[in-house]
Structure 1
Amino acid sequence: MPKPTGPTNPQLRKLLRLLREQGKKHGAQIWLDLAERLERPRRSRAEVNLSQINRYAQNGSTVVVPGKVLAAGRLSHPVMVAALSFSVPAKRKIIAAGGTVLSLQQLVEQNPTGREVKLME
């Protein structure tokens, strides 16, 4: 019997299923792309610093990270950030800048079509 491939974390598998369902139902390519990126091995998932988010995201925009958000740098404007995980200092800095921290599932429920969402990697 071959070894199972892909993520074994049941919560991540449930999230992948949700992303694929919403992507197909609403024709949102961003959720299908995000599911594909989250299926990669853990060592090749994105790690994005706040300085990158500050540089590439405008005031009030929505950013999704298929990995972890780290606290290096600072945010100078409010941004809605959704990611697989956050470091504790990164959460504090996002909230201090007036931004919002969301899980990927919360973002998909709020914005099922994926409009105005920027994918950072």
Structure 2
Amino acid sequence: MPARRRKITNVLLRKTLDELWKTKSPAWRRVYELLNRPARQRIVVNVSKINRYANDGDVVVVPGKVLGSGELEKKVTVAAFSFSYTALEKIETAGGKALHILELVKENPKGSGIKIIT
């Protein structure tokens, strides 16, 4: 008996995965692979981890959810599938910008200069 394919019911996730698959960029393909995991294996990153690994002015991609635990002292652009309310507040008060992954794909289709934080 063949393995059953799982059906993704979240319309926004399906649309995001479709757009990422259309790009030929290795960076966006890697984000696709990380987002296409089962829900239990999806990536969750705290703001403190972004603060630890990013520099001022970096563009950071989180293929999952960003949570608000910790402090953010750097001005970074963060693209993720979803954000908690406190994470959005902390990114904006630090002078950064929060985007959905689809917005960043449209701005940067080649995926150059991005950091993927897992």
TM-score w.r.t. length of structure 1: 0.91
Q: Which runs of 4+ in 1 moved over 4 A?
A: none
Give ranges in structure 1 of 5+ residues lacking alignment.
none
Partner of 2:117: 120
Q: Specify the code of the residue in structure 1 equivalent to 2:15.
A: K
Note closer, same or farther for the CA distance 1:6–1:58 as it changes in structure 2 (3 Å cut). farther
The Cα RMSD (Å) is: 1.5
Equivalent residues in 2 for 1:28-107, closer than 5 Å: 28-107=25-104
**Superposition pairs for residues 14-25 of structure 1, below 5 Å?**
14-22=15-23, 24=24
Aligned partners of 1:117, 1:80: CA distance in 2, in Å?
A: 10
| 5+ long unaligned stretches in structure 2 | none
- Are the structure 2 counterparts of residues 6 and 118 from structure 1 closer, same or farther at C-alpha, using a change threshold of 3 Å? farther
Write the distance in 2 (CA, Å) between the matches of 1:6 and 1:75.
36
Name the CA distance, whole Å, in 2 between partners of 1:11 and 1:89: 22
SS at structure 1 position matched to 2:95: coil
- Percent identity at matched positions? 47
Q: Count residues in correspondence.
A: 117
